[in-house]
Amino acid sequence: MDYRSTLNLPATNFPMKANLPVREPERLKRWQGTSLSDRILEKRRGAPKWVLHDGPPYANGDIHLGHALNKSLKDILVRYKSMKGFYVKYVPGFDCHGLPIEQKALESLGAKVKEKSPLEIRRLCHQFATKYIGLQSGQFQRLGVGGQWKTPYLTLDPKVEARALRLFRDIVAGGYVYKGFRPVYWDPIFQTALAEAEIEYEEHVSPSIYVRFPCLDPEKNEVLRPHAPINFVIWTTTPWTLPGNLAVCLHPDFTYVVAEVAGGERVVAAEELLQSFCTDAKLGEPKVLAKCKGRDLEGLHCSHPLLEKQSLVILGEHVTLEQGTGCVHTAPGHGAEDFDVCKKYGIEPFQPVDEAGRFTELYPPMQGVQVWEANQTIIGELTARGLLAHVGKITHQYPYSWRSHRPIIVRATEQWFLALEHKGLRQKCLEAIQNSVQWIPKWGEARIYNMVAARPDWCLSRQRAWGMPIPSLHSKGAGKSILALEVIDRFIEYVEKEGTDCWYRRPLEDFLPEGFQCPESGGTEFEKEYDILDVWFDSGATHASILEADPDLASPADLYLEGSDQHRGWFHSSLLASMAGRGRPPYRAVLTHGFLLDEKGEAMSKSKGNVISPLDLMKHMGADVLRLWVASEDYRGDIRASKEIFERVSEAYRRIRNTFRFLLGNLADFDETRAAADGELDEIDRWALARLDQLVERVGQAYEQYEFHRVYHLTHSFCVEMSAAYLDVIKDRLYCSAPADRTRRAAQTAMREMLSALARLLAPIIPFTADEVWEAAYGGGESVHLADFPAPGGRAADEAFLQRWERFAALREIVARKLEEARREKKIGASLEAAVALRVKTPALYEVLALDADLLRQLFIVSSCKVERAPSAAGAETLEEQVEAEIRLADGAKCERCWNWTKEVGQNAEHPALCVRCADVVERLNR
């Protein structure tokens, strides 16, 4: 007779094969259709707010794996905090203005660019941004990221622009904004100033030249006088900046020497660099004639190498002994440090290069020539004048524009700046960094602190079309730019209604209050200026434009969460804007993650061809596997991604999924009304629940500490442990008992708790699968994402109980090894064919174990287990030394139903192939 049908085998529709690429989008549609995100919010209305402010990604293409990582981490937290009972409204944002989009728009225009007005270009940019916002929004939602996707925040939204501009107005009102002539990074292709964040360094071959600066007045200096004539020698890799030279800078504390080199020439150079410089410049073996400190040479004059000017010998702490001669060519129009040091000497910058990188009439010999092309000519000119000591080539890192991918130049221009020293802003920022913000990991503090401490004033203006105009006016009377609060206010009024296009569209008069006069000259003739704000201001202002504007949000936010590059980027700009405009930081805590690396630990880049697309991953493995990977990695350091890693994560996913499936299958005929009371649970059920309680406790802590990789390892290991130790052991009860048998219901009760807790513990990480499980377990009612996060404590066990079970686990290993031995000797196959004898060599231990013989039999999944006394072994300490396991073939016969071996088989005449228990169950089923 076939007794299989009398068994309670698992039954579930929950498929083993996840088929996530197909099933996730279906579930997503249902979530969207039923406004799940809104319902989650509704459920927590009135609860304490928890605000995670989304750093807006730049909307200019498909999302990449870094986006997926960042948004997954945010979503995990948002879901976790919601389940913990907080009111968490997640408003995703998009950064819409800026050069990358403008560039794309211009590319599409081709040669017609020149015919287009700023308004037309802006309209195109708007279209591009809108297109990519839609694209990215869909991709993020596909990832399972919940939130206000119907109403994301856009930095191009007129309301958002108006609020950002109001913050700008407050900063202007605070007196922080000034117009200055300063060297800035300049992209000659796009003809705009660049922020530090818009620069990347690339390998670049530059000329490496040594140039003589003949000293004009050596007789004024005691050290030089006896050795005249003397040349200061400078080293530079940018010959084109030589027309802008106004000084030669020495370090006050370095030792400089007068040395005689090849041809009897006498030069000045830093002592430490003399040898290397003479070797490099092929000047032979130098002979030192005199020595002095840099400060002794201050104030001497050299002749300018190219113009009828003089170059002053000055001192600066920034001079180093790394390369060159220790005498630094200084062109205040072409370098920030040069500018600063010259300022101390009252030297005004000389800047003969126009916005396209061509020389102007200020350097007539090369007017109209591109600086890069000018290099060679200048070298020729120097040679002709006998000033070139040596020319070579050098390959080094040189700043490139992140958009034009061409080398940039540094040129002094008129720009709007945010003054870091005004009202002690820098100091206030530094104090806020140390005292008011929690940095996670903690080293982020030192990182951003050093950056803020060292950064120059923030260059706020750009000469572009796609951004928020700075409503400054050129006052004809004063002959300069003015930024008037009244004008800004008027501008904002229009922006609110019409967007920032109004600056281009409306006549100047619209922005001028009645009787407006230039505060400097009293004049009334103005022209609009068309610089725009650095996009970093747009995003740096979102604490005001977004958080302050929505009563469901708040500023400061509880958390900003971005990659560690944002210490220089968004965290930085947000901090400065908020400190200047509001006097407080925009966030309470800042969490950073590392960067993606490939399997070799190298950065991912298109050029290396090692990029992995999140869209491909979702298409082939599903969002949950991708998210499980995110959770599995300790994101505080670098994050690895490779084929093998995703294969490993997929394995883990399958293990978790199968555990859910097994639980569901065995709970098919169970509901809460059939749950066993605590007193009815077997000891092993209580053990399993105690382990579950531990898991809940530890996972909760891990979430609280943002250590999602611990959540992953903890839950995955729990599934593994339970599969092997608990779920395997209780199969006999589950399958073979009568369906309503109390011990079976007890096991199901434990499994139900396990299922419920596990699904909720994992819901933030694998939202699709957890929800699928929840639906399979409880029907199509509430989503798991509306449930509360499990709380520990309900089934906590005392130490003695846990220790008792640790010993059982150790015994299980001992027995398992012996069973394996018996298997190898072909004595047994399945463990139920075995009978175990535990020979215990310690009387005390024997007394304890003897009482648990039947429990051990179950744990070992064998047909019988005897605990016997053995001659005591001296000095036996480990369990292994105290207990010896013997394996024999079990007595009796195999029950055809439960496969246990017992002498009872055959006692029931009706069911001669069954053991007593099974015969009994079958008879009752038949009744």
Q: In this structure, which amino acid lies at residue 345?
A: Y
Strands of 883-889's sheet, edge to edge? 864-869, 834-840, 883-889
Q: In this structure, which amino acid lies at residue 53?
A: H
Strands of 52-53's sheet, edge to edge? 52-53, 559-563, 589-593, 438-440
- Polymer length of the chain: 927
Q: In this structure, which amino acid lies at residue 833?
A: E
Q: Which residues contact 80 (CB under 8 A, 6 or more apart)?
A: 703, 764, 789
Q: How far apart are CA 754 and CA 739, in angstroms?
A: 20
Q: Which residues contact 202 (CB under 8 A, 6 or more apart)?
A: 397, 398, 400, 405, 407
Shorter beta-carbon distance to RNA: residue 443 or 669: 443
**Measured in whole angstroms, how far is the alpha carbon of residue 493 from the centre of its chain?**
37
Shorter beta-carbon distance to RNA: residue 512 or 837: 837
Spatial contact of 480 and 486, defined as CB atoms under 8 Å apart: no
Exposed / middle / buried, residue 716 (Cβ in 10 Å: 0-12, 13-18, 19+): buried
Q: How far apart are CA 441 and CA 448, in angstroms?
A: 12
DSSP code per residue over 826-863: TS-SSGGGEEEEEEE-SHHHHHHHHTTHHHHHHHHT-S
- Write down the least CB distance from residue 833 to RNA, Å: 8
- Write down the least CB distance from residue 411 to RNA, Å: 15
- Write down the least CB distance from residue 724 to RNA, Å: 3
- Write down the least CB distance from residue 655 to RNA, Å: 5
Shorter beta-carbon distance to RNA: residue 335 or 790: 335
Shorter beta-carbon distance to RNA: residue 265 or 340: 340
Expressed in angstroms, the distance from the first to the final Cα of the chain is 17
Spatial contact of 265 and 228, defined as CB atoms under 8 Å apart: no
Shorter beta-carbon distance to RNA: residue 796 or 816: 816
- Write down the least CB distance from residue 919 to RNA, Å: 14
- Write down the least CB distance from residue 321 to RNA, Å: 10
Shorter beta-carbon distance to RNA: residue 170 or 280: 280
Q: How far apart are CA 765 and CA 652, in angstroms?
A: 13
- Write down the least CB distance from residue 157 to RNA, Å: 27
Strand ranges, E, within 15-169:
52-53, 93-94, 153-154
Q: How far apart are CA 545 and CA 219, in angstroms?
A: 64
Tell me how many degrees the CA angle 368-371-375 measures, rounded to the nearest 5: 120
Shorter beta-carbon distance to RNA: residue 448 or 867: 448
Shorter beta-carbon distance to RNA: residue 279 or 605: 605
Q: How far apart are CA 412 and CA 276, in angstroms?
A: 33
Q: Classify residue 351 as left (phi > 0), alpha (psi -120 to 50) or beta.
A: beta
Pairing of strands 589-593, 438-440: parallel
- Write down the least CB distance from residue 524 to RNA, Å: 41
Shorter beta-carbon distance to RNA: residue 169 or 568: 568
Shorter beta-carbon distance to RNA: residue 493 or 920: 920
- Write down the least CB distance from residue 631 to RNA, Å: 9
Shorter beta-carbon distance to RNA: residue 214 or 594: 594
- Write down the least CB distance from residue 714 to RNA, Å: 9
Shorter beta-carbon distance to RNA: residue 406 or 476: 406
Shorter beta-carbon distance to RNA: residue 710 or 742: 710
Tokens (6 digits) for 461: 């203006």
Q: How far apart are CA 616 and CA 139, in angstroms?
A: 11
- Write down the least CB distance from residue 403 to RNA, Å: 14
Can you tell me which residue has the tokens 């096991």?
A: 747
Name which of 434, 428, 426, 418 is nearest 454 in CA terms: 426
Q: How far apart are CA 163 and CA 157, in angstroms?
A: 10
Shorter beta-carbon distance to RNA: residue 77 or 121: 77
Beta bridge partners of 285: none
Q: How far apart are CA 687 and CA 852, in angstroms?
A: 15
Q: How far apart are CA 176 and CA 195, in angstroms?
A: 18
Q: How far apart are CA 773 and CA 767, in angstroms?
A: 10
SS3 call for 270: strand
- Write down the least CB distance from residue 470 to RNA, Å: 22
- Write down the least CB distance from residue 69 to RNA, Å: 11
Spatial contact of 287 and 260, defined as CB atoms under 8 Å apart: yes
Q: Which residues contact 852 (CB under 8 A, 6 or more apart)?
A: 808, 867
- Write down the least CB distance from residue 723 to RNA, Å: 3
- Write down the least CB distance from residue 450 to RNA, Å: 4
Name which of 364, 377, 387 is nearest 303 in CA terms: 387
Shorter beta-carbon distance to RNA: residue 301 or 568: 568
Shorter beta-carbon distance to RNA: residue 87 or 670: 670
Shorter beta-carbon distance to RNA: residue 438 or 517: 438
- Write down the least CB distance from residue 410 to RNA, Å: 9
- Write down the least CB distance from residue 20 to RNA, Å: 14
Distances 689 to 696, 710, 725, 792 between C-alpha atoms, Å: 10, 20, 13, 11
Shorter beta-carbon distance to RNA: residue 14 or 494: 14
SS3 call for 705: coil
Distances 704 to 76, 190, 335, 346 between C-alpha atoms, Å: 12, 47, 47, 56
- Write down the least CB distance from residue 580 to RNA, Å: 20
